Amino acid sequence: MALLQISEPGMSTAPHQHRLAVGIDLGTTNSLVAVVRNSISMVLNDADGSALLPSVVRYLADGNVQVGYPAQALQSDDPVNTIVSVKRFMGRGLADIGDVSNLPYRFANVAATGSGQAPGMVQLRTVAGVKSPVEVSAEILKVLRVRAEAALGGELVGAVITVPAYFDDAQRQATKDAAKLAGLNVLRLLNEPTAAAIAYGLDNAAEGVYAVYDLGGGTFDISILRLSQGVFEVLATNGNSALGGDDFDHRIYCWLLEKNNLSALGAQDTRLLLTHARAVKEQLSDYPEARITAILSAGDVIDTTLTRQDFYDMTQTLLAHTMQPMRRALRDAGLTVSDIKGVVMVGGSTRMPQVQRAVGEFFKQTPLTNLDPDKVVALGAAIQANVLAGNRQDDDWLLLDVIPLSLGLETMGGLTEKVIPRNSTIPTARAQEFTTFKDGQTAMGIHVVQGERELVSDCRSLARFELRGIPSMVAGAARIRVTFQVDADGLLNVSAREMSSGVEAAITVKPSYGLSDAEITRMLEDSNQFAQDDMKARALREQQVEAKQLLEAVQNALQQDGAALLGKEEQERIAGSMAALRETLQATDHLALKRAIANLNEATVAFAQARMDSNVAHALSGRKLSELES
Amino acid sequence: MGISLTDNAAKHVLNFIAKRGKGVGLRVGVRTTGCSGMAYKLEFADALGEGDLQFSSHGVTLLVDPKSLPYIDGMELDYTREGLNEGFKFNNPNVKDECGCGESFKV
């Protein structure tokens, strides 16, 4: 059976209606997907247990696409078709990117065609054809979507995707387009520093003004946020959309060229040295020096050692570039360094000791690093996605009101089907699908009721209306979506819509009208007191509905084929069982009714078999065997 | 009778409640849904509801509203992993019939 998760109070979902929503950090270097399960935000790992998906996409000549580690492993061998850091090209024209001489890609100058080929955006010529950054990003998102659906066991209702605070409209739109192409419904785009603040603010519930220093693979953002009672307010943001860990790699790369008197390397060698540069950078976070050995395609051997101090010195100017936006952001917020209560570090590049030291010196305090800087954005995005999908009651809203009694409607047999459970916060809207009971049914009565009891007769009737014009179909084929909507003023609007034809009907009622507090209390008490009775009553009504359906089906079958297929004796036996069932229908013993249903079912087994054989024979008659075999 | 947790399920629940930072226990119940079915309800409980029945299992307080109990009396909750997915499994002796994935059931 399905595996269930614990919901927040009052937020249980109907079967097959789990509101699975994820947070996605679509990063320059790595991407992640996270989700809130059992009220805890967690990053989802792939089958090998790794959380990070390298944002690397490789196109193959046969049309296949590799994403993540397999693509990354081959980026030195196949640099032209292996796209790394595609985020830098999102929503960008060639002119926006600047110096492309160090990039191994073949940029295409083609007119935009088809979906994903955004006009004005750079295009990359690969062995599998011309690809836009939107298409490349969509490949990354697709992998994350599939990973999430496998881990959560169902389709996603949507995702919150994070973007740098500095992304402009074109870049944001490109991100949305990529998500759409990947089959994701974007609940919201969220600024990365804000997502980090959500992860820290809500998990640790620490109030005050915080700075979020986010140095990712390709972007730098500084945000000044005020957190109070779980609500965050963005006071100022600043940054540089073309500065990140990649630039630190590039400094090492340039140093390598200089040190070894190299110039104008081919695409493959460029990629090889950049990969080594990144590895060296990561090693220097833990060791005072790191060695680089590589053999270039022309046979040149590189064997050099880089010390931490040299690395600090050559990246000093990059760090200085992050200080200027920090000063500007503080000035915009009207604050000074002494107002900042804490500094949140985000992005893998903040693992570099010189970054932590420089930020610490600037803000005169040790930055916060207790959440994994690579995961913090995705964790915050997941928390936001969970709220937007409606899985959490927003405690922070003070203007909340709840409905005192469940709202529902009458189903066959006089049973109550609750659509909005009591204590749901308003405004709220819930929809449920129903179907027809009889063949050719063209209208459906909708009876709106209020209360906790199982039988409609024990609940309070609020309104009745009818949905007409349902196309004639067999019983159970029509799909009628009934939506209950309660607005902030407590007004209930019920609408019904037949999904295939679009016919619609609606009614507005004010549910709490005329009910005193004492009446509401009595209705609730009754519902608890009569739990056992209600359970039996429901069982009885369900059996009654089943019995009536069966009687009708047998009656129809008898009229059509009874005389042709059955002997007199058998017809009498079936008629006897039917009469017995009709009689039991009046009784209140659901077990006796169940037995009578079983009896009639048994009595008609041979008849049903005969009907099926006769139908098959009818369908096949007059046709040659050869026709059937072909 | 009442309901209970396996040792493993209890460990997960205690861990979830600790990480969530609040909650007095776990609320287990059923709600009616569809034309002929029941669905389980599994929620964190922040407060005791009026008339709630309480059961204790491996250090976890389980709350059941009296209306739900007849449908789940004697049930045991387990926590299991299936591939990448993991979660709670309901072993309910009252179930006579359930939908393909077991999310809704009949008694």
SS (HEC) of A290-306: EEEEEECCCCCEEEEEE
Q: Does pLDDT of A317 surpass 90?
A: yes
Q: Which of A9-23, A100-114, A291-305, B67-81 has the lowest mean pLDDT?
A: A100-114
Residue of chain B nearest A415, judged by CA positions: B35
Residues of chain B neighbouring A153 (CB-CB closer than 8 A)? 82, 85, 87
Q: Is the peptide bond before A427 cis (omega within 30 degrees of 0)?
A: yes
pLDDT digits (tens, 9 = 90+) for A225-240: 877 655 566 677 788 8
Question: What is the SS3 assignment for A268?
Answer: helix
CA atoms of A391 and A7, how far apart (whole Å): 7
Question: Is A591 part of the contact surface with chain B (CB cutoff 8 Å)?
Answer: no
Q: What confidence tier does A205 reach under pLDDT thresholds 50, 70, 90? A: low
> Of these residues, A78, A135, A177, A192, which one is catalytic?
A192
Q: What confidence tier does A425 reach under pLDDT thresholds 50, 70, 90? A: low
Residue A627's pLDDT is what? 55
ipTM of the shown complex: 0.83
Residue A66's pLDDT is what? 95
CA distances from A431 to A90, A390, A496, A602 (A): 37, 14, 9, 38
How far A13 CA lies from chain B's nearest CA (Å)? 8
CB–CB contact A6 B42 (8 Å): yes
Residues of chain B neighbouring A539 (CB-CB closer than 8 A)? 107
Tell me which residue in B83, B85, B102 faces A1 most closely, judged by beta carbons: B102
CA atoms of A136 and A124, how far apart (whole Å): 9
CB–CB contact B88 A4 (8 Å): yes
Residue B75's pLDDT is what? 92
DSSP annotation of A7 reads: B
Residue of chain B nearest A544, judged by CA positions: B36
In B22-61, the residues whose Cβ lies within 8 Å of chain A are: 26-27, 31-37, 39-46, 51
CB–CB contact A6 B44 (8 Å): yes
Residues of chain A neighbouring B5 (CB-CB closer than 8 A)? none
> Of these residues, A214, A410, A458, A534, which one is catalytic?
A214
- Nearest by Cα to A8 from B43, B8, B33: B43
CA atoms of A537 and A89, how far apart (whole Å): 64
How far A223 CA lies from chain B's nearest CA (Å)? 27
CA distances from A254 to A240, A259, A260, A314, A394 (A): 21, 8, 10, 10, 51
Q: Does pLDDT of A68 surpass 90?
A: yes
CB–CB contact B20 A535 (8 Å): no
* A141 half-sphere exposure, CB direction, 13 A CA radius: 32
Q: Which has more pLDDT, A493 or A51?
A: A51
A595, A545 in Cβ contact below 8 A?
A: no
Residues 6+ apart with CB under 8 A from B59: B10, B14
In A162-221, the residues whose Cβ lies within 8 Å of chain B are: 205
Question: What is the SS3 assignment for A36?
Answer: strand
**Numbers of helices and strands, H then E, in chain A:** 18, 28
**Numbers of helices and strands, H then E, in chain B:** 2, 9
CB–CB contact A9 B35 (8 Å): no
Question: Which tokens go with A388?
Answer: 């937007």
Q: Report the DSSP beta bridge partners of residue A342.
A: A210
pTM exceeds 0.80: no
Q: Does pLDDT of A412 surpass 70?
A: yes
Mean pLDDT for the stretch of residues A77-99: 85
Residues 6+ apart with CB under 8 A from B50: none
Q: Is A303 a catalytic residue?
A: no
CB–CB contact A12 B51 (8 Å): no
Tell me which residue in A3, A39, A434 faces B87 most closely, judged by beta carbons: A3
Tell me which residue in B16, B89, B107 faces A40 most closely, judged by beta carbons: B16
Q: What confidence tier does A113 reach under pLDDT thresholds 50, 70, 90? A: very low
Q: What confidence tier does A488 reach under pLDDT thresholds 50, 70, 90? A: low
* A603 half-sphere exposure, CB direction, 13 A CA radius: 23
Residues 6+ apart with CB under 8 A from A502: none
pLDDT digits (tens, 9 = 90+) for A381-390: 999 888 878 7
How far A369 CA lies from chain B's nearest CA (Å)? 19
CB–CB contact A2 B102 (8 Å): yes
Tell me which residue in A1, A8, A151 faces B89 most closely, judged by beta carbons: A1
Tell me which residue in A5, A15, A44 faces B103 most closely, judged by beta carbons: A15
Q: Is A613 a catalytic residue?
A: no
* A314 half-sphere exposure, CB direction, 13 A CA radius: 18
Q: How many residues does chain B have?
A: 107
Residue B105's pLDDT is what? 74
pLDDT digits (tens, 9 = 90+) for A353-404: 999 999 999 999 999 888 899 999 999 999 988 887 877 655 443 223 456 6
Mean pLDDT for the stretch of residues A10-24: 76
SS3 content of chain A, % helix, strand, coil (to 5): 40, 25, 35
CB–CB contact A4 B19 (8 Å): no
Residue A326's pLDDT is what? 93
In A538-577, the residues whose Cβ lies within 8 Å of chain B are: 538-539, 542, 545
Q: Is A281 a catalytic residue?
A: no
Question: Is B78 part of the contact surface with chain A (CB cutoff 8 Å)?
Answer: no
pLDDT digits (tens, 9 = 90+) for A147-158: 999 998 888 989
pLDDT, mean over chain A: 83
Taking one residue from A and the other from B, the number of pairs with CB-CB distance under 8 angstroms is: 127
CB–CB contact A8 B107 (8 Å): no
Q: Does pLDDT of A434 surpass 90?
A: no
Question: What is the SS3 assignment for A60?
Answer: coil
Q: Which of A3-17, A32-46, A163-177, A419-433 holds the top average pLDDT?
A: A32-46
Question: Is A2 part of the contact surface with chain B (CB cutoff 8 Å)?
Answer: yes
Q: Does pLDDT of A168 surpass 90?
A: no
Residues of chain B neighbouring A454 (CB-CB closer than 8 A)? 32
Question: Is A151 part of the contact surface with chain B (CB cutoff 8 Å)?
Answer: yes
Q: Which of A175-184, A471-480, B59-68 has the lowest mean pLDDT?
A: A471-480
Residues of chain A neighbouring B88 (CB-CB closer than 8 A)? 3-6
Question: What is the SS3 assignment for B96?
Answer: coil
Question: Is B16 part of the contact surface with chain A (CB cutoff 8 Å)?
Answer: yes
* A113 half-sphere exposure, CB direction, 13 A CA radius: 6
How far from chain centre, in Å, is Cα A282? 33
Tell me which residue in A16, A40, A535 faces B70 most closely, judged by beta carbons: A535
CA distances from A102 to A106, A254, A270, A277, A538 (A): 11, 10, 8, 14, 73
Residue A628's pLDDT is what? 52
Residue of chain A nearest B33, judged by CA positions: A417
Residue A45's pLDDT is what? 93
CB–CB contact B16 A411 (8 Å): no
CA atoms of A145 and B45, how far apart (whole Å): 31
pLDDT digits (tens, 9 = 90+) for A525-563: 777 777 777 788 888 888 888 888 888 888 888 888 877
CA atoms of A426 and A429, how far apart (whole Å): 8
pLDDT digits (tens, 9 = 90+) for A126-138: 998 889 999 999 9
A35, A60 in Cβ contact below 8 A?
A: no
- Nearest by Cα to A250 from A280, A220, A222: A280
**Residue A315 CB: number of other CB atoms within 10 A?**
21
How far A450 CA lies from chain B's nearest CA (Å)? 14
How far A430 CA lies from chain B's nearest CA (Å)? 13
Helical packing angle, A568-585 and A590-603, nearest 10°? 170
CA atoms of B39 and B32, how far apart (whole Å): 6
Question: Is A1 part of the contact surface with chain B (CB cutoff 8 Å)?
Answer: yes
